[in-house]
Structure 1
């Protein structure tokens, strides 16, 4: 609106504050803008200066100065520049076909009923339609680390196939309670979702139990902090929900900071730590050339665990499973 207008207060608006009267008509105006317009005398009531909290009377004349235009309505799913910058700050690798992010702990990969901020929404930073990167695998909300996406439909299909055919080697770092013996091996333990108390959990399945899913995890102990805790590298050969968390609990060495899969000892050792699980490294075929080796710097949450137990990131072999056949 570029011209000065005079509007009259309706009978139904008797006693309404001036600033609220403006907000009803021009909701894009904020309190600071209205305050500046009243302080400078551009907004007047019955010819006199007024304050934002002035109560209006029916029939009063309100001088309305030129107002800034309302911004165009944001398209569904569109994100603002700050969110786009945040999304791009997570990038650890990008080319014309592949995008890899270091997903922070606490950020969901996809939205839900009560989840409005998630990776899938942030992908609008790269555009919509065919320009929008496609998710090809998942990480739990509280797990940080490498998340890879396809930037074209063909690339996404090829990356997804690499996961489906177990051609992707995923290396997670975790701090667990106690000192696992043996220090390396393979856990082959089917899992099943069940109601446990008032929550749904993934638990070991009984032999022959319907709905059970095969689950296999290879593990290597990197180092330990005496008998209290161990830093482990985990390679899930299958991709079941909460697989690593459930398998480590079944071994008697739950991941520290886990609010769901824990024991009295692990809760005591955690002492305020967040989930100590990080997708450190991902090696898989590039959609069109060679192999990709992606690595995510450890999260602040895992850094806190390393500091507590005296672990040093440089102690680990970059790929402790190199040379192993896997399953």
Structure 2
């Protein structure tokens, strides 16, 4: 038997579709190979030859030697290339990336693709220096050593699209936040102190409702801090943040919060992560002029 590791480009494909695509075998033979178990995928739970199984990153696919594949892609190389495209700064101490929305910060039982695993695959020994929600995009920093992870990170700035218009163009948001039993953050006097500065960049109306693009600057770094401050203090929830109050029937529900980690100062260098295309598209849809270059 031969085997190959499943990479990013093949993850998500059904086992039968993968075999058809990569081997060029006829459909009848593909079905027979799966039915007899001559080809199969191996994951953390064991092996499967179900045609309905969807392949995941780092699965191993086993097949007889007589089957020829068209240049199989090795997962490690595939992931390394992908991660390199995200890098906006690197030196002997740190790696800084522009993380796409949808990529988890850390891996888990149900999470095959995560920023920390990709960083480790790129540079062995790299460590997370801070966290970013899975459905939020932007700057993430990794230290190449435990000493590097102690470097100060300053001027953490975010750009967010919110539903509504703040009463003031700029201001300070200070509350105490406490995690609920359900895992939400809520304003609570017995919680931890949280402080955020905000500034309105631009505002417009879409289908009669106001929307605004705001810049946020973190003073503290509590879990979901900006999301709670936008929704509960400003009364302007982030677009797409259904967990914290966004509700608009004119929008297709998607797994994306329109919050972007835009700026960070580390080692005396001010780094910026360009807004992703989906963020720019939402700005254009809502008529919000992009003031960031």
- TM-score of the aligned structures, taking structure 1 as reference length: 0.65
**Structure 2 CA distance for aligned equivalents of residues 232 and 306 of structure 1:** 11
Give the aligned partner of residue 179 of structure 2.
193
Matched, 1:81 2:77: yes
> In angstroms, what is the RMSD of aligned CA positions?
2.6
Structure 1 residues 28 and 229: CA distance shift in structure 2, 3 A: closer
> Once the two structures are superposed, what CA deviation does each residue of 1:213-253 show, in whole Å capped at 9, x if it has no partner?
10111000001014610000001111111110011111210
Residue ranges of structure 2 left out of the alignment (5+ in a row): 2-31, 41-59, 69-73
Matched, 1:154 2:186: no
Structure 1 residues 268 and 23: CA distance shift in structure 2, 3 A: closer
Give the aligned partner of residue 257 of structure 2.
275
Pairing partner for 1:300 from 267, 277, 283: 277
> Once the two structures are superposed, what CA deviation does each residue of 1:18-39 show, in whole Å capped at 9, x if it has no partner?
8847559xx96526x5356xxx
* Structure 1 runs, 4 residues or longer, greater than 3 Å off: 17-24, 33-36, 268-273
Question: Does structure 2 conserve the Cα–Cα contact (< 8 Å) formed by 1:79 and 1:125?
Answer: no
Larger Rg: 1
> How far is 1:304 from its partner?
2.3
**Structure 1 CA distance for aligned equivalents of residues 111 and 61 of structure 2:** 26
Pairing partner for 1:136 from 129, 132, 147: 129
Question: Does structure 2 conserve the Cα–Cα contact (< 8 Å) formed by 1:88 and 1:125?
Answer: no
> Once the two structures are superposed, what CA deviation does each residue of 1:118-137 show, in whole Å capped at 9, x if it has no partner?
01111233342xxx222111
Pairing partner for 1:34 from 62, 66, 90: 66
Question: Does structure 1 conserve the Cα–Cα contact (< 8 Å) formed by 2:237 and 2:244?
Answer: yes
> How far is 1:292 from its partner?
1.1
What secondary structure, in the 3-state scheme, does the structure 1 residue paired with 2:193 have? coil
> How far is 1:310 from its partner?
2.2
Matched, 1:217 2:196: yes
What secondary structure, in the 3-state scheme, does the structure 2 residue paired with 1:120 have? helix
Give the aligned partner of residue 6 of structure 1.
none
Alignment of 1:10-29 (within 5 A): 20=36, 29=62
Structure 1 residues 35 and 97: CA distance shift in structure 2, 3 A: closer
Residue ranges of structure 1 left out of the alignment (5+ in a row): 2-16, 37-77, 319-327
What secondary structure, in the 3-state scheme, does the structure 2 residue paired with 1:301 have? helix
Number of paired residues?
A: 233
Matched, 1:228 2:210: yes
**Structure 1 CA distance for aligned equivalents of residues 115 and 79 of structure 2:** 11
Identify, as 1 or 2, the structure richer in strand: 2
**Structure 1 CA distance for aligned equivalents of residues 132 and 67 of structure 2:** 47
**Structure 1 CA distance for aligned equivalents of residues 171 and 274 of structure 2:** 26
Pairing partner for 1:258 from 234, 241, 247: 241
Give the aligned partner of residue 157 of structure 2.
171
Question: Does structure 1 conserve the Cα–Cα contact (< 8 Å) formed by 2:79 and 2:118?
Answer: yes
